[in-house]
Chains A and B, each alone.
Chain A
Amino acid sequence: MRNKIFIIFGFILFIFCFIIFYKGLQKPNVYSPELNQKKSIPSFVSLDFYSNEKVLSDDIFKKGNYYLVNIWSSWCIPCRSEHPFLIRLKNSKINLVGINYKDNINNAKAFLNELGNPYSKILSDKDGVISIELGAYGVPETFLINKEKFIIKKIIGPINNESYKEIVNLIK
């Protein structure tokens, strides 16, 4: 009788472990945090891309406007593919703020000359600290900030047709 209980118990344990591992294998192992709670944009000090002067984030992000913060770099290949979407967004009612991530200034300027400059303001992030302050992983990454200065959308990776439409709908 006791042996039977052990066998049944062992079998149930095996099934339990099997289900957990099977479910675990199906999960993608690339982690991306969900934006389940609204976060306000943090305050930080940065350098202006062109003038190299200190800029306070509170002077850039003002209540009552939508902002799209885009982290980009000239050495980042996916940034090229998302650039046409940013150019299209330039003509809508949203302020585009670029954060130039760990880049060579001359290469970055050449990148903008070649593909166009969609940004109303560009900040320089030479050591990647501002990106960490924002909670970013790397390039490209985009944050949509609403009129109350809350981050309402985070796009990890390049903007595509789908995310472009989503942004346009959110700022309507």
Chain B
Amino acid sequence: MKKIISFVLVFFCFISNNLSASEKYSDLENKIFKNLRCLICQGQSIYDSQSDFSESMKIVVRKNLQEGMSEKEIYNSLKNKYGEWVLYDPQVNKGTYLLWSLPLILFLLGGAIILRKLSILKK
């Protein structure tokens, strides 16, 4: 029994250690990390990744915040260095207007089809 208890205790110690990994950064830092793409990883944000690139990015973001830069300023400065791709939340411009407007168009189109069907059924 003692063995089981000590095993469970050790297990929880490890788990809590892992859970607290993201706590060394503030909420704002974590929010920014989640909005930045790890450019050398496949589909991971800076927050998720532990690559050299991501770790350096985290240091840069923290340094910029300490220097008094706002969240938006940090995004802009990184966008200037790495392009729009580094942001997970792309802004509306001529390259992304279709990306932003397509869900709305499809929603309206779907709504129109449903309304039409309903009006036909009512008749």
Q: How many residues does chain B have at the interface if contact means C-beta atoms less than 8 Å apart?
A: 16
Surface stretch bound by B, among A83-91, A110-118, A133-141, A159-167 = A133-141
Does the CB pair B55–A128 fall under 8 Å?
yes
Provide the residues of chain A in CB contact with B42, threshold 8 Å.
29
Provide the residues of chain A in CB contact with B59, threshold 8 Å.
127-129
B92 interface contact, C-beta 8 A? no
- Given A127-B59, A129-B60, A129-B63, A138 and B53 contact (CB-CB distance below 8 Å): yes
A-B residue pair count with CB separations less than 8 angstroms: 37
How far is A87 from B85 in the complex, measured between Cα atoms in Å?
35
Interchain nearest-CB distance for A120 vs B (Å): 25
Does the CB pair B82–A135 fall under 8 Å?
yes
How far is A137 from B37 in the complex, measured between Cα atoms in Å?
12
Does the CB pair B60–A138 fall under 8 Å?
no
Which of A29, A31, A39, A138 has a CB less than 8 Å from the CB of B52? A138
B57 interface contact, C-beta 8 A? yes
Does the CB pair B56–A129 fall under 8 Å?
yes
Provide the residues of chain B in CB contact with A34, threshold 8 Å.
83
A121 interface contact, C-beta 8 A? no
Does the CB pair A33–B82 fall under 8 Å?
yes
Provide the residues of chain B in CB contact with A137, threshold 8 Å.
39-40, 53
Does the CB pair B39–A132 fall under 8 Å?
no
14 contacts between A and B (CB under 8 A): A31-B39, A33-B85, A127-B55, A128-B52, A128-B53, A128-B55, A128-B56, A129-B60, A132-B56, A132-B60, A132-B81, A133-B81, A137-B39, A137-B40
- Other A-B contacts than A128-B55, A129-B63, A137-B53, 12 sampled, CB-CB below 8 A, are A31-B39, A31-B85, A102-B52, A127-B55, A127-B56, A127-B59, A128-B53, A128-B56, A132-B81, A133-B81, A135-B82, A138-B40
| Chain A residues within CB distance 8 Å of chain B | 29, 31, 33-34, 39, 102, 127-129, 131-135, 137-138
